[in-house]
Amino acid sequence: MYENYGFEHYVVDYNKKYKNDAEFKVRKMVFEENLNKIRMYNKNPHYTFEAGVNHLTDRIPSELKAIRGFNKPLFAKNYQINNKLIYIPIEVKDLPAQVDWRDKGVVTTVKDQGSCGSCWAFSVAAVLESHIAIQTGKLLEFSQQQLVDCVENPQHCGGTGGCEGATQDIAFQYAIGAGIALGSAYPYKAYDQTCKADKIKKVAGIQGFVQLPYNDYDALLNAVATVGPISISVDASEWSFYSKGIFNGPCGSTINHAVVLVGYGTDAKGNNYWTVRNSWSDSYGEKGYIRIAREKSAKDVKCEIDSDPAQGGGCDGGPSEITVCGLCGILSDSTYPTGGKLI
């Protein structure tokens, strides 16, 4: 695949426009390096996914790092989390074989965070949309920009705030008091602004949020099966190459991206997967989604050490290493809101 595909085809296919010849040459070099990597992925019979070109294939590493941007709310918290699980844990063997909250009409269309490191805000807004819909029957589209502009991050958890990164926890905490406005009232700009109080016409709110036990396979499976979509944290360093299938490639353990878990399942070949909503537009992956390889059971889960928590959601004063489990660290940190209501 892509044996006869070149940069000239890519420029036309993705309507790419560059400032000058110098940028054209740099983008071409980056594209060709990434295309070689895509070809290597697709020649490896071990992989259960297909790599492919997309709107990110000409981006340099620092640009890709910026759109991951984020996360890891594991430490130095100065607020209370409702850790009382509001679902009744079910034996894994009794859970549905497949769950996809998109089929229930409670998931909005995939959005594009652009070049702003606001994945945490997109993750939280999407999960709020789904949980408000589940609890009220009304599916609304909420403002990511309100979160980018107004969520304060004094402890530098996951970054310094806004497009420079924050965490889902502090965004959920903010929503408890401030509520959330519609995206149409406080539209997304993909850059930092001062908080615009006059645009915060809150239409919904929450009473609390739950932090699932860290690195707990059964807890995450239970929650997404019985409660709704879950805000999760991952290492997405290699995700830009994904096109379709079940991603089982090299992933890493440095948590650097916030996304939404909307379900799980097993394909016709018996490969288990998690279904994950990304925020890199619906042209990414499987209409904006990526399926990540899922272990058969909790006893099959493997863990690694994240030696750079500050790149993710670690806060000032946090530890220098943390343990993250599951492919891409997908089990490391999972959160969902409670008490969703319309205002």
Q: Is the pLDDT of residue 77 over 50?
A: no
Q: What is the pLDDT of residue 69?
A: 65
Is 119 labeled as catalytic in the residue annotation?
yes
To the question of domain 7-63 being in CATH 3.90.25.10, the answer is no
Report the share of the chain in percent with pLDDT over 90. 79
Q: What is the pLDDT of residue 65?
A: 87
Do the beta carbons of residue 179 and residue 204 sit within 8 Å? yes
| Dihedral of the alpha carbons of 326, 303, 322, 123, in degrees to the nearest 10 | 0
**DSSP class per residue in 79-120:** S----S--S----GGGS-S-EEGGGGT------B-TTSS-HH
Residue-range domain boundaries for the chain: 7-63, 64-342
Between these two residues, 158 and 265, which has the higher pLDDT value? 265
Is 251 labeled as catalytic in the residue annotation?
no
Q: Is the pLDDT of residue 289 over 50?
A: yes
Report the share of the chain in percent with pLDDT over 70. 90
According to CATH, the topology of domain 64-342 is: Cathepsin B; Chain A (3.90.70)
List the catalytic residue out of 278, 315, 325, 328: 278
Between these two residues, 49 and 305, which has the higher pLDDT value? 49
List the catalytic residue out of 54, 71, 119, 163: 119
Chain centroid to CA 227: how far?
18
Q: What is the mean pLDDT of residues 313-325?
A: 68
List the catalytic residue out of 131, 222, 257, 328: 257
Q: What is the mean pLDDT of residues 124-141?
A: 98
On average, the pLDDT of the chain sits at 91
* First vs last C-alpha separation in the chain: 52
Residue 40 contacts by C-beta under 8 Å, 6 or more apart in sequence?
none
Q: Which of helix, strand or coil describes residue 35?
A: helix
Reported as a single tens digit per residue, the pLDDT across 173-183 is 999 999 999 99
**Residue type for 116, please?**
C
Q: What is the pLDDT of residue 322?
A: 85
Do the beta carbons of residue 219 and residue 212 sit within 8 Å? yes
214: left (phi over 0), alpha (psi -120 to 50) or beta: beta
Q: pLDDT-derived band of residue 73, with 50, 70 and 90 as boundaries?
A: very low
d(CA 38, CA 43): 9
Q: Is the pLDDT of residue 85 over 80?
A: no
Q: What is the pLDDT of residue 103?
A: 98
Q: What is the mean pLDDT of residues 33-43?
A: 95
Round the CA-based radius of gyration of the chain to a whole number and report it.
Answer: 19
Q: What is the pLDDT of residue 72?
A: 45
Q: pLDDT-derived band of residue 27, with 50, 70 and 90 as boundaries?
A: very high
Q: pLDDT-derived band of residue 158, with 50, 70 and 90 as boundaries?
A: confident
Do the beta carbons of residue 147 and residue 121 sit within 8 Å? yes
Q: What is the pLDDT of residue 80?
A: 44
Q: What is the pLDDT of residue 70?
A: 57
Q: pLDDT-derived band of residue 314, with 50, 70 and 90 as boundaries?
A: very low
Q: Which of helix, strand or coil describes residue 305?
A: strand
